[in-house]
Structure 1
Amino acid sequence: ALAKWRVVQAVKVLGADGNGTVSSIAQGLQWSAENGMDIANLSLGSPTGSPTLELAVNQATSAGVLVVAATGNNGSGTVSYPARYANALAVGATDQNDNRASFSQYGTGLDIVAPGVGVQSTYLQNQYASLSGTSMATPHVAGVAALVKEKNPTWSNVEIRQHLTNTATPLGNPTQYGSGLVNAEEAVR
């Protein structure tokens, strides 16, 4: 279910080829903060950090935005940026058996996981496709965050983040799964 209280606003920060710049991502976060968005879904990532991007994540968080970011898809034990920043909620992917997806990046910066294999999604030219990646897992967490915000409209981004991790279903080693699998039922109970 989509939270009824808020419109989903697409903020384009990547080109048609899927590439973008730190500047465009930072500007998208700034726009989200300035326009009162509660949650920013960042289904994107880079192996390298940037002071500009970290500042944008920190400023958005200070403005009340919950920044939810994909950990990356190369299967390594290091979370990508911007998910690696402390103020981003880093989301990894699980498969249909609730195991860490083989491609999902993991490590000490991983906060939570969500389904990320074979997820039905919109696609190019008004089509649908079955897609896999941490970019498919991240919207699950952002969506549950929106449901939590709908139920608890006075909660801050920090409270929502803590609630999501507290209500996640533990799956094992925190470096592989963070706090566990996002659990919408528990989160909105």
Structure 2
Amino acid sequence: MSGDGTRRCAWTGIENDEQYQRYHDTEWGRAVEGENELYERLSLEAFQSGLSWITILRKREAFRRAFCNFDPIIVAQFGHEDVERLMLDAAIVRNRLKINATIGNARALLRMPAGITLATIIAEHAPVVARGPEEAVPGQTAESKQLAKALKGYGFSFVGPTTAYATMQAIGVVNDHEAGCWLAGKTQTLGLG
């Protein structure tokens, strides 16, 4: 239970961190609409790999500035000078592989065939059966492995099964609020549009 008396998922972990609690309460596990928004979430989950989510959350506005609000049309045009500029930006995570993946993923997104979107690819790999409230939250699933493979097939990188599953959780494809959390069973899933 947090300092405000609300029971939240244990992963929020940082007691009385208002930004983290607000993210959990108003964003995590909720439907996300729009390709730019999905691209942003996928990118941030990739940057989170190996780090704590709170690190990425605290840097999210800096990431948005650095990557032009995750507009794939703009990011796809980034070149070597932009990568070097981003590598000097202490406000974001300065990881060359992740920066290059974010740029490459914007290009991959723009190359997808007509009628194929991030939303359709993700929805295609949504679990048929939801995890029960007492079951442990997995780090990856068969569906996230298939999603990662599908994204890689379209040219995306830095999207392994764990990143794919974290994205599915973040955007409401799966509802992984823990038993006892005030949002368990209450958030809308599969709201991809």
Normalised by the size of structure 2, how large is the TM-score?
0.27
Larger relative contact order, structure 1 or 2 (CA cutoff 8 Å, min sep 6): 2
- Structure ranking higher in strand proportion: 1
Higher Cα Rg, which structure: 2
